[in-house]
Structure 1
Amino acid sequence: MARAIWKGAVSFGLVNVPVRLYAATGEHDIHFHQVHRSDGGRIRMKRTCSVCGEEVAYDEVAKGYESPDGKLVVLSDEDFSDLPVASGHEIDVLRFVPADQVDPILLSKPYYLEPESRAAKPYALLREALAETDRMAVVKVSLRQRESVAVLRVRDKAIVLQTLLWPDEVRAADFEVLETDVELRPQELRMAASLVESLAGDFHPEEFEDEYAAAVKTLIDTRLEDADAAPSAAAEEGSAASGTDGPRGGEVVDLLTALQRSVERARGGSSAEKPAEVEDEAPAARKTTARKTATKKAAPAKKTAAKRTAAGKSATKKASGPAKKTTTARKSA
C-alpha cells in the first residue's frame, strides 16, 4: 500500500476512531510523452501571452475568470487566502442512510480507511454495524483544503470512504426521444426477458481485461527488445505527496460508555460533550490516568516544603545581618 495521504479520525456520536486514508484505486493506462520524431527529444510546452506574444514565467501567472458576456476577472493569491478554507482532520458522521438510497452516479473517488492499532475494536464495531444494518454513513470531510460530502461503506474487512459529487455536478438525462410513447407488445417483453435470463450470471470483475492496454504494452515490450531502441533523451524527476498529521485527541473512555452516551445524546440528551478517543485497553489507560493524578496531588506538597525552606533561609540571613554590622563597628573603634 502506498503512503497515507491523510490522517484524522472518524467521529460518530461520542466515539473517535483514529484512521489513515489511502487511495483505493490507480489507473493502469500507459502514459506517453510528446517527442520530436527525428531525434526523440521531449517537446516542452511554453506559456505565452496571447496579447503580447511573450513567454510568461510561472510566478507571473494568475487565475482569471471570463464571464459568458466576455468580462475578465483576475484573482490574486491574496484573494484566495481570504476565502474560508476547510482544513480539519475529522470525518464527521452526519447520518446513517439505507445503502440503496445512494445513487451510484453520485459516487466519486474511493479511499480505504486504515485504523490505528489502538482503534481496531471501534473500527470493527462501526464496520459490522454498517454491514448488519445495510446502511452507509453520510459524512463531511476536508481533503486537499476542500470540503466534500462522502459516504462510508464496507468492502470486505475494510471501511471505504467514497467522496460524492455535488447534486449540481450530475447532469440530467434530458433527451426528447425518451418522452416519446413507445408501444411494447407482450411477446417482445417476454423475448427480452428470456434474452436477459440466458446471459444472467454473477459479476466477477477479474474475468474482464482491458484488451487495448494489453496490446499497447505488448507493442512497447516488442519495440524495447528491438536492437534499434534508443535511450531516453531526458528524464523527469518525480515528487511524492506527503500525508498530513493531525488526528484530534480527546478523553480516553471505555467503548461501551461512549456508545451509551452517544445513544443518550441522540435521544435528546446533552450535546456539550466532545467525541472521545476510544482504545481497546481502557483499564490500562485508567491506571495511567490515576498515576498522573497522584503525581499532580503530590506536587503541591513539594512546593509547600520548598517555600518553608526558602522562608527559613531568609530569616537566617536577616538575623545574621545586624551582627555583622556590629562586629565591623567594633573593629573601627
Structure 2
Amino acid sequence: MWKGSISFGLVNIPVKMYAATEEKDVRFRYLHRECRTPVKNVRMCPNCDRQVPWGEVVRGYEYEEGRFVVLEDEDWAALAPANNKAIEIIDFVELKEIDPVYFNKTYYLGAQDANNKAYALLREALIRTGKIGVARITIRSKEQLAVVRVYGDCLVMETIFYPDEVRDVKQVPFVPETHELNEKELTMAVQLIEQLSVPFDPAAYRDEYRNAVEDVLRKKISDEKVVEAPVRKTENVVDLMEALQASLDAARKTKTSGRKKPAAKKKATS
C-alpha cells in the first residue's frame, strides 16, 4: 500500500508497507423493506432542492454555526506536505515511555529485496538496544507521527496520535480521588488479580458477538429456526467484600478444576 524507505542518520532502507490488521466486522447493507433493493445514498442540497454531483461539492470548515470558510483546490495544493517517500526516524526512545493510548494503526514493513543487509542491521540494533524509533511519514498527503519497532522478525510501523489529539484525562467526570482503602479489601483485590493472571495468549480471545451474528446469518440462510441466546444469570452482590470473596472463590475453583486430570477411558471389551 506504500513504497519508500526508512531513513535514520545517513542510512536509507528501501521498504514496502502492508496493512498489519483487518477489521472482521460483519457488514450489512441498507435495503428497502418492501422490495429488498439496496438503498442508495444521495447527496441532496436542501436549499436548491436537487441532487448535487461531485463536481459541485467543496470542503468547508464551520467556524460558527451556519457559517463556513471554503478551501479551494489551490489552497489544498499549497497546504500539501512534500511527497517525501520516507519514514524519517528522528529519535529513539524506550517503548515503555509511550502509553498505549497514543497508538493508532499498525503496518508491516518488508524490505524491497530478499537480502537487504540494512534492514537486518536496523532490526538487530533495535533488539539489542531495546529501543524504538520515533518517525515522521506522509501517507495520502497527510503527515503523521509514527514509531518503528520489531515484531517477531519483522519491522513494523505504528502511527501514533499527536499529544494534542489525546484528550486530557482531567476531562473525564467522576474519577475518584485518592481514598483511604480498607487493607483487607485491597489484599483480596490483589489476590483476585493474581488468581486471574495468565500469560497473554491472543488465540484465547474471540469476538463472541461477531460469532453470534454469523451463526444467526447461517441459520437464516439455511431457513433454520433462530435460537435465542440463553440469558446469563448474575447475582446482585452489593457488598464489596462479598463481591471480592465470591470472585476469589470462583477463580480458585476454576483453577483447581482446570488442573484435574481427565479420567482414564475404559478399554472396550469384545
TM-score (norm 2): 0.78
Report whether the alignment pairs 1:27 with 2:38. no
Aligned to 1:204: 201
In structure 1, distance between residues paired with 2:43 and 2:62 = 19
Given candidates 216, 219, 222, the residue that maps to 2:219 is 222
Matches within 5 A, 1:19-168: 19-68=15-64, 70-117=66-113, 120-168=116-164
Shift in Å, 1:57: 1.2
Q: Would you identify which runs of 4 or more consecutive aligned residues in structure 1 move more than 4 Å? A: none
Residue segments in structure 2 that go unaligned for 5+ positions in a row: 225-270
Report the structure number with the largest CA radius of gyration. Answer: 1
Shift in Å, 1:183: 1.3
Q: Which has the higher mean CA deviation after the structures are superposed, 184-193 or 202-211?
A: 184-193
- Among the aligned pairs, what percent are the same residue? 39
Shift in Å, 1:82: 2.3
Letter in 2 for 1:89: K
Letter in 2 for 1:10: I
Report whether the alignment pairs 1:186 with 2:180. no
Shift in Å, 1:67: 1.1
Shift in Å, 1:44: 0.8
More strand by share: 2
Q: Secondary structure at the match of 1:132?
A: helix
Q: Using a 3 Å threshold, how does the CA distance of structure 1 residues 37 and 172 change in structure 2: closer, same or farther?
A: same
Shift in Å, 1:55: 1.3
Q: Using a 3 Å threshold, how does the CA distance of structure 1 residues 213 and 11 change in structure 2: closer, same or farther?
A: same
In structure 2, distance between residues paired with 1:154 and 1:130 = 7
In structure 2, distance between residues paired with 1:110 and 1:21 = 10
Q: Secondary structure at the match of 2:220?
A: helix
- 8 A Cα contact 1:17 1:119, kept in partner: no
In structure 2, distance between residues paired with 1:178 and 1:220 = 41
Q: Secondary structure at the match of 2:215?
A: helix
Aligned to 1:17: 13
Report whether the alignment pairs 1:213 with 2:210. yes
Matches within 5 A, 1:283-294: none
- 8 A Cα contact 1:64 1:75, kept in partner: yes
Aligned to 2:254: none
Shift in Å, 1:118: 5.5
- 8 A Cα contact 1:9 1:18, kept in partner: yes
Shift in Å, 1:176: 4.9
Q: Using a 3 Å threshold, how does the CA distance of structure 1 residues 140 and 9 change in structure 2: closer, same or farther?
A: same
Given candidates 160, 163, 170, the residue that maps to 2:166 is 170
More helix by share: 1
Larger RCO, structures 1/2 (Cα 8 Å, 6+ apart): 1
Letter in 2 for 1:147: E
In structure 2, distance between residues paired with 1:10 and 1:210 = 35
TM-score (norm 1): 0.64
Shift in Å, 1:179: 5.4
In structure 2, distance between residues paired with 1:7 and 1:57 = 33
- 8 A Cα contact 2:87 2:136, kept in partner: yes
- 8 A Cα contact 1:65 1:73, kept in partner: yes
Shift in Å, 1:64: 1.2
- Aligned-pair Cα RMSD in Å: 1.7
Q: Using a 3 Å threshold, how does the CA distance of structure 1 residues 173 and 88 change in structure 2: closer, same or farther?
A: same
Letter in 2 for 1:20: K
- 8 A Cα contact 2:80 2:141, kept in partner: no
